[in-house]
Amino acid sequence: MSSTNTSALHTDPSLFSGMDVYAVAGNPISHSKSPLIHQRFAEQAKQRMHYGRLQPEMDSFAQAAKAFFAAGGKGMNVTVPFKLDAQNLADVLTPRAQLAGAVNTLWKIEGKIFGDNTDGAGLVRDLLAQGIALHSARILLIGAGGAARGVIGPLLEQSPKVLIIANRSSAKADELVKLFADLAASQEVALESRTLAELEDSAKTQHPFDLVINATAAGLTDQSPLTPKAVSNIFMPSSFAYDMVYGKTTAFMQQALQRGARVSDGLGMLVEQAADAFLLWRGSQLATVINPRAVLAELRS
């Protein structure tokens, strides 16, 4: 394990004898709040563990992850841009990781690396904690990339009335509709695709939505995927607008606020997906002793 990369980021398991070592891997990673979140969960659950950061080179995720596990690392969270690499690395994928098409949580048991995706469960838990009813709701999901794909399964399992996936071009959205068609049918959800342009057409988009989720990265560059015309079709004052980007009021959130809707960034999703990963690693019996909402409140202050 190259000491330049890892010891600087406090992740070499050999430096923490008598402790279970975990890490978050991404590039860049210095901004990550995951170490603080997991440190708080460890304190709440009285677990002896260390959680650091790992920044592999863009083309050497597998090498870095294998070295981390070989040195005694117990588990790893994975963020942009390595979620597909993590899926390829895992020996065993959970059903939800297979559906999500990406992995954000890895752990090693008896020589095998397991991969799961806790993003969708984290999103659903954050929405429910904020009092958003998902059952029988009309949901619009904007974007058809990895972030969107990772949350469709858990959203469908809440049995909304309608889930529409909107994307600039329809091909990727159509693909996701096909991929999740069986799950949607089993939950009696109308799963459809739209282009972003079709959101502007009141003949195609006749009703506003209860929940609109932005799964594009537009918020990072202060842009919105929605035109003013689309905004007037999809939001009503009782709508809830959720942007997966966190730490600021994005252009998408501002559009929703102007229509009288309530808004949220994605910080709660980050905390809740971390809680899911923590319980996978340390045991589901700790669900009663960790308090994700308290950790979220601390981050917000």
- Which tens digit of pLDDT belongs to each residue from 153-207? 999 999 999 999 999 999 999 999 999 999 999 999 999 999 999 999 999 999 9
Statement to judge: residues 174 and 95 lie in one domain: no
Q: What spatial distance separates the first Cα and last Cα of the chain, rounded to whole Å?
A: 37
Whether pLDDT at 6 is above 60: no
Statement to judge: residues 51 and 178 lie in one domain: no
Gap between the Cα atoms of 158 and 133, Å rounded: 9
- Kindly indicate the confidence band of residue 14, based on its pLDDT and cuts at 50, 70 and 90: confident
Is 83 assigned a catalytic role? yes
Comparing CA positions, the residue from 103, 108, 69 lying closest to residue 85 is 103
Statement to judge: residues 22 and 112 lie in one domain: yes
Q: Which domain holds residue 20?
A: 3-117+268-300
For residue 269, what pLDDT is reported? 98
For residue 197, what pLDDT is reported? 96
Please report, rounded to a whole number, the percentage of residues in the chain having pLDDT higher than 70: 97
For residue 3, what pLDDT is reported? 38
Whether pLDDT at 45 is above 90: yes
For residue 217, what pLDDT is reported? 86
Statement to judge: residues 127 and 244 lie in one domain: yes
For residue 161, what pLDDT is reported? 98
Statement to judge: residues 76 and 136 lie in one domain: no
Domain count, the chain: 2
Statement to judge: residues 238 and 274 lie in one domain: no
Statement to judge: residues 128 and 256 lie in one domain: yes
Statement to judge: residues 279 and 231 lie in one domain: no
Statement to judge: residues 125 and 261 lie in one domain: yes
Contacts of 83 (CB under 8 A, 6+ apart): 102, 103, 104, 117, 146, 150
pLDDT: which is higher, 55 or 218: 55
Residue-wise pLDDT for 69-116, tens only, equals 999 999 999 998 999 999 999 999 999 999 999 999 999 999 999 999
Statement to judge: residues 214 and 277 lie in one domain: no
Gap between the Cα atoms of 261 and 211, Å rounded: 10
Count CA within 13 A, CB hemisphere, residue 168: 7
Statement to judge: residues 156 and 226 lie in one domain: yes
The CATH number that applies at residue 184 is 3.40.50.720
Looking at 66, 83, 161, 248, which residue is catalytic?
83
Contacts of 190 (CB under 8 A, 6+ apart): 161, 162, 163, 184
Whether pLDDT at 7 is above 50: no
CB-CB contact of 78 with 106 (8 Å): yes
The CATH number that applies at residue 21 is 3.40.50.10860
Q: Considering the chain, what is the average pLDDT of its residues? A: 94
pLDDT: which is higher, 73 or 221: 73
Contacts of 301 (CB under 8 A, 6+ apart): none
What's the sign of the alpha-carbon dihedral 172, 62, 123, 237? negative
Count CA within 13 A, CB hemisphere, residue 227: 12
For residue 11, what pLDDT is reported? 80
- 278 phi and psi, to 5 degrees? -60, -45
Gap between the Cα atoms of 57 and 5, Å rounded: 9
Statement to judge: residues 145 and 252 lie in one domain: yes
Burial 196-209 (b: 16+ CB within 10 A, else e): bebbbeeeebeebb
For residue 9, what pLDDT is reported? 59
What's the sign of the alpha-carbon dihedral 132, 135, 136, 140? positive
CB-CB contact of 207 with 179 (8 Å): no
CB-CB contact of 223 with 254 (8 Å): no
Report the amino acid identity of residue 136: S
